[in-house]
Amino acid sequence: MTTSGSNDYATFRRALRRAAPTLRRPLPWIAHRDPWAVLVAEVMLQQTQTSRVVEPWERFLDHFPTPTSCANASLPSVLRLWEGLGYHRRAKALHEAARMIRDEFGGEVPSDVEDLRRLPGVGEYTASAVASFAFHRRVAVLDTNVGRVLARALANQALRSNEAVSMALALLPRNDVAGFNQAMLDLGAQFCRSRPLCATCPVATHCRWNLEGGVDPAPGSAGVSRPQSTFAGSNRQLRGWILDELRQSAKSKRQLFSALAEADPSRCELVLESLIRDGLAERRGRMVQLAGSSDER
Ligand code: SF4
């Protein structure tokens, strides 16, 4: 692998730090001091666009300002607050994580990456992001945005996973690691996107791909996700519709499927079964309801 030398790293690092204030996005969880607020934001951001997370994040923290308040609540009340975010398995996992934090960590979000990785729904990226942003641990935060920046600006070639990790670690500055990680995320989100905005990018004069040219190395590089499949007409959309109906009230299958008049009943049946298997919905006699609703009575 041909990679940048330490001088190139230092030059790129300086350029990024100079640009950081202009890259900063006005998002309420950035530089937030409460680890729970950071953890909730990172879980919500896993598969949902940033702009769609702000309002649900504020609503969620209003209801559950601490891990223990979330742990003590019922699953349906957590699922109701997940409205608009999709991928509801994350809500169930976050509820379970809150219970583990209450029961095993004295109600405090742990600060070690290894402990964070034990929480349901928390993978390598989320654990590193919480450790860095909430606890200022010296860890690299490597998501799809950062993966693109590394492949293009530093390597100008697609990276394997171990190469991306060592490059991200080698790039970390001595001080203010959290601020640097945030700047990498901001650069990837605002300029080094799938379709990059190189003409106005503030680090363009230090970017290898921009200077050397060639095929875009980001697609297929480690950490860089593929575009999501179309949402309209997908089972993901139907899962959301079914849960929206169940958030309002328990329903018989007939009521439920007639409320989803546009969807094919056999597909509704399959999607409902998948929600039951995932522990998000349950049967109660002839009715279907949000999982855990019986415990609320
Ligand atoms: S110049 Fe283009 S490819 Fe390089 S970091 Fe900026 S946006 Fe990404």
Nearest CA to ligand 1 atom 7: 192
Residue 62 identity: D
**C-alpha distance from residue 201 to each of 12, 114, 191, 197 (Å):** 13, 35, 6, 6
What residues does ligand 1 touch, defined as CB less than 6 Å away? 149, 152-153, 191-192, 196-198, 201, 203-204, 207, 209-210
181 Cα: distance to centroid of ligand 1 (angstroms): 16
Distance between CA 285 and CA 81 in Å, rounded?
A: 26
Distance between CA 161 and CA 55 in Å, rounded?
A: 34
267 Cα: distance to centroid of ligand 1 (angstroms): 43
Which residues does 176 contact at the CB level (< 8 Å), separation at least 6? Answer: none
Q: Do 89 and 64 meet the contact criterion of CB atoms below 8 Å apart?
A: no
Tens digits of pLDDT across the chain (297 residues): 445 556 789 999 999 999 999 999 999 999 888 999 999 999 999 988 899 999 999 999 999 999 999 999 999 999 999 998 989 999 999 999 999 999 999 999 999 999 999 999 999 999 999 999 999 999 999 999 999 999 999 999 999 999 999 999 999 999 999 999 999 999 999 999 999 999 999 999 999 999 999 999 999 887 776 666 677 778 888 898 899 999 989 999 888 988 887 678 888 889 999 999 999 999 999 999 999 887 665
Residue 42: closest CA among 124, 118, 136:
124
- CA-208 nearest atom, ligand 1: 4
Torsion of CA 276, 282, 283, 284, to 10 degrees: 170
- What positions carry a catalytic annotation? 42
Distance between CA 95 and CA 159 in Å, rounded?
A: 35
Which residues does 296 contact at the CB level (< 8 Å), separation at least 6? Answer: 74, 76, 77
Q: Do 41 and 25 meet the contact criterion of CB atoms below 8 Å apart?
A: no
Domains within the chain, CATH numbers bracketed:
235-296 (1.10.10.10)
Question: Hey, which of 156, 194, 197 would you mutate to test ligand 1's pocket, going by the most ligand atoms within 8 Å of its Cβ?
Answer: 197
Distance between CA 231 and CA 126 in Å, rounded?
A: 24
Distance between CA 43 and CA 193 in Å, rounded?
A: 21
Rounded to 10°, the helix 6-23/177-190 angle is 70
Strand partners, 288: 251, 283
Which residues does 264 contact at the CB level (< 8 Å), separation at least 6? Answer: none
